[in-house]
Chain A
Amino acid sequence: MILLTDIGKSHGTRAVLTGITARFPRQSLTSIIGPNGAGKSTLLMLIARLAEPGSGRITLGGADIARISRAEYARRVATLRQFPAIELRLTVEELVAFGRFPHNRGRPTAEDRRATDEAIAFLSLDTIRKARLDELSGGQRQMAFLAMTIAQQTDCLLLDEPLNNLDMRHALRIMQALRSLCDDLGRTVVAVIHDINFAANHSDQIIALKDGRLHSSGTVDQVVTEAGLRDLYGLDFHILPRPHGRLCDYFTPKGEAG
């Protein structure tokens, strides 16, 4: 379990995060939502140790993460930020194999090859495993990077906007994969998600940030309410119950359409 206690972070004099206290339970999918500039990615970067908090404490399984060596941390927590823009002449297979680096420091064993194959199969990327990254579509590339993170075989995965720039089919596939990582493989997943409907229908828990502060957190039922979302985004929401979840409609503000 990851526990955040009174986390603060500022860039210069501007406070980006203030007094964030939250917990990410094991084997659950937590979505971080909120408007642009709310500090979602910054929060994720702090948990990933890509930046250091100005104040507060983050613990993983009871231990302060600042005291865990970086090499050890990479065996327990995997992070995927938006994929780098530089051209990589790697094949999908080669990229996914990088996920094993924390375990083998660049000297792959049979075990590593098996983990790589499993990650590729998990996201059904077998047909493109020999393809080069620069020949793939954005969605396929995102899947390949996610496969690398899965191959890392960590208890916890942190994903920064994994659905960004994806079409509906790829977005759904990634979301279902995250769900299955929690349910079938017992991993803890934390993802920054912009699409409220994906967050509302696939998460166990939602954490909402606004202006660098915790706006609300809890189960989907607790956070995804018309009043809560209106206050969070400054938009009118219509929440429609569906047999397997709910639909948050903000496309047609109240009064203009039926």
Chain B
Amino acid sequence: MTARATFALTAFGLALLALAFVLQGAAADPVWLIPRRLMKLAAMIVGGCAVALSSISFQTVAGNRILTPAVMGYEAVYLLLQSVLVLTLGASGLTLWGGSGGFLLSILFMLGYSLTLDRWLFRDGRADLWMLMLVGLVLTMVIGTVTQFLQLRISPGEFAIFQSAAQISFERVEPWRLLVSTILFCVICLAGWRGLPALDVLALGRDQAMSLGIDHRRAVRRLLMLIAVLVAVSTSLIGPTAFMGIFVANLAYALAPGAGHRLTLPMGCAIAVGMFLLAQLMVEHLFDYRTTVGILVNLACGVWFLALMLRQRSMI
């Protein structure tokens, strides 16, 4: 199948899913349902694309296919912030300034975390990526423990509210958040567009990329910054996605009609958005809201992750 045909088929499938999601049972109250669903759809597109782009480019930089930016501690920082907000301000903490306060704070915190980590590790100008990831992983665990400690002090009612913030969900999408996320996302895409060919070269590894004239350290720092913004956008818009990035990236490598990022990135976006649509459709119509998108997505991705580990045991 040619690249064009593959993408045409993918786009067609996505459009069908999106139509099904927006129109299914909409006749009951189209004026109320359809705009709300369109907003959720937009959140899925922005969030899903952010997850796909950040995971694939992160894996390229790391030269490893079973990592996601989540191991760098971004999501742990997000959850820590949410629990601090709930603890100090109560349930209203998450709806600070009409919900947008917490949203902006989350993004700023994650960016701040990324900058600090980067500054500190590159302070003598020669930290390697593995060190960065190791520190990220350790911090994820430390921050996770602190978060758990804080959660013990939250009242059960407020804990339930915190939990809803700790899962993928499209229910809390609001126009304002969506607008800011979309703008940020577009800015990142524009900023990253010019670096797309360089991303392909980075996949050859540090030495080869440098021999081909890429300032490796600068390119990696720039990319990690862009990835941080993408993770911040997706996490604060739809919640932590944990394993999903691995699933999306690896499926994209398998299904894309070639190895270049020009092909894998759009394929990854399509897979992430399609997955959100499928999960949301199942939650609404098959499980009747008895389960959540987060649980379905994590279940599917968890199983996939295990299978990947078993299949590629020798390559880890």
Interface set of A (CB-CB < 8 Å, partner B): 48-50, 70-75, 78-81, 84, 86-90, 94, 98-99, 101-102, 105-107, 149, 152
Instruction: Decide if B210 touches A98 in the complex (CB within 8 Å).
Output: no
CA distance A105 to B212 in the complex (A): 10
A-B contacts, 27 listed (Cβ < 8 Å): A48-B207, A48-B210, A70-B215, A73-B213, A74-B211, A74-B212, A74-B213, A78-B211, A80-B211, A81-B208, A81-B211, A84-B63, A89-B253, A89-B258, A89-B259, A90-B259, A94-B258, A98-B201, A99-B212, A101-B201, A101-B212, A101-B213, A102-B212, A105-B198, A106-B198, A149-B211, A152-B212
CA distance A80 to B215 in the complex (A): 17
CA distance A98 to B210 in the complex (A): 12
CA distance A239 to B289 in the complex (A): 83
- 5 new A-B contacts, CB < 8 A, other than A50-B210, A106-B198, A107-B197, are A70-B215, A86-B63, A86-B64, A90-B259, A98-B200
Measured between beta carbons, the chain B residues less than 8 angstroms from A90 are 259
Q: Of B196, B205, B213, B260, which contacts A71 at CB under 8 A? A: B213
**4 A-B pairs with the lowest CB-CB distances in the bound complex, closest first:** A106-B197, A74-B213, A79-B211, A84-B205
Measured between beta carbons, the chain A residues less than 8 angstroms from B214 are 70
Instruction: Decide if A81 touches B197 in the complex (CB within 8 Å).
Output: no
Most chain A CB neighbours (cut-off 10 Å) among B211, B215, B259: B211
Q: How far is the CB of B3 from chain A (nearest CB, A)?
A: 13
Instruction: Decide if B213 touches A79 in the complex (CB within 8 Å).
Output: no
Instruction: Decide if A70 touches B63 in the complex (CB within 8 Å).
Output: no
CA distance A70 to B211 in the complex (A): 8
The answer, yes or no, to whether B204 is at the interface (CB within 8 Å) is yes
Instruction: Decide if B204 touches A88 in the complex (CB within 8 Å).
Output: yes
Q: How many residues of B contact A (CB 8 A)?
A: 23
CA distance A78 to B208 in the complex (A): 9
Measured between beta carbons, the chain B residues less than 8 angstroms from A75 are 213
Instruction: Decide if A79 touches B207 in the complex (CB within 8 Å).
Output: yes
Measured between beta carbons, the chain B residues less than 8 angstroms from A72 are 213
Binary contact readout B184-220 vs A (1 if CB under 8 angstroms, 0 otherwise): 0000000000001110110111011011111100000
Most chain B CB neighbours (cut-off 10 Å) among A72, A81, A99, A149: A81
Measured between beta carbons, the chain A residues less than 8 angstroms from B207 are 48, 50, 79, 81, 84
Residue in chain A with minimal CB distance to B195: A106
Q: How far is the CB of A208 from chain B (nearest CB, A)?
A: 24
CA distance A152 to B203 in the complex (A): 18
Measured between beta carbons, the chain A residues less than 8 angstroms from B64 are 86
Measured between beta carbons, the chain B residues less than 8 angstroms from A78 are 211
Residue in chain B with minimal CB distance to A80: B211
Q: How far is the CB of A128 from chain B (nearest CB, A)?
A: 16
Q: How far is the CB of B180 from chain A (nearest CB, A)?
A: 31
Q: How far is the CB of B259 from chain A (nearest CB, A)?
A: 4
CA distance A129 to B41 in the complex (A): 43
Q: How far is the CB of B248 from chain A (nearest CB, A)?
A: 17
CA distance A50 to B126 in the complex (A): 12
CA distance A86 to B63 in the complex (A): 7
Q: How far is the CB of A139 from chain B (nearest CB, A)?
A: 19
Residue in chain A with minimal CB distance to B63: A86
Measured between beta carbons, the chain A residues less than 8 angstroms from B200 are 98, 106
CA distance A102 to B201 in the complex (A): 10
Instruction: Decide if B204 touches A98 in the complex (CB within 8 Å).
Output: yes
Q: How far is the CB of B166 from chain A (nearest CB, A)?
A: 34
CA distance A86 to B205 in the complex (A): 8
Residue in chain A with minimal CB distance to B218: A70
CA distance A98 to B200 in the complex (A): 9
Instruction: Decide if A94 touches B198 in the complex (CB within 8 Å).
Output: no
CA distance A72 to B315 in the complex (A): 36
Measured between beta carbons, the chain B residues less than 8 angstroms from A102 are 212-213
Binary contact readout B250-275 vs A (1 if CB under 8 angstroms, 0 otherwise): 00010000111000000000000000
Q: How far is the CB of A98 from chain B (nearest CB, A)?
A: 6
Instruction: Decide if B213 touches A106 in the complex (CB within 8 Å).
Output: no
Measured between beta carbons, the chain B residues less than 8 angstroms from A74 are 211-213
Instruction: Decide if A94 touches B259 in the complex (CB within 8 Å).
Output: yes
Residue in chain B with minimal CB distance to A87: B315
Instruction: Decide if B211 touches A98 in the complex (CB within 8 Å).
Output: no
Residue in chain A with minimal CB distance to B259: A89
Measured between beta carbons, the chain B residues less than 8 angstroms from A101 are 197, 201, 212-213
CA distance A8 to B271 in the complex (A): 52
